[in-house]
Amino acid sequence: MLHNAYPDLTVYLEHMNRYSSEIAQLLATKGRISRSLPAFVWNGVLNPLATFIYNYFFRLGFLDGREGLLLHLNHSVYIHWKFIKAWWIGKSPAKTPPSSRF
């Protein structure tokens, strides 16, 4: 059975952008905006990397071939976006995340 939730990459990226903006707002209201440098590095770099390693290797995403690689790379980018957008919101409360740039 084929399930085409995202018919093309454009739709997928639009959804990732929208979801990451919504989650960033939620993270910012909870105060998870990566104020310190170690928190910023963890949330913006290491957490996406750990997510990719976990999903691609330990959850056997590599068995899906090229599609699995692209899916898990894009999911890691989503993790990166949501934390960077939350940091952006926390950096200046008057600003909103630059969602139109992604």
Q: Which tens digits make up the pLDDT trace of 76-92?
A: 999 999 999 999 999 87
For the stretch 45-64, pLDDT in tens is 999 999 999 999 999 999 99
All residues at 6 or more sequence positions from 88 whose CB lies less than 8 Å from its CB, including other chains: 24, 95, 97, 98
Separation of alpha carbons 29 and 6, rounded Å:
30
Mean of pLDDT values over 19-23: 96
Mean of pLDDT values over 2-24: 89
CA pseudo-torsion sign 50, 97, 32, 40: positive
pTM of the entire structure?
Answer: 0.82
Is residue 32 helix, strand or coil? coil
Asked if residues 61 and 69 have their Cβ atoms less than 8 Å apart, the reply is yes
pLDDT band at 5 (very low <50, low <70, confident <90, very high): confident
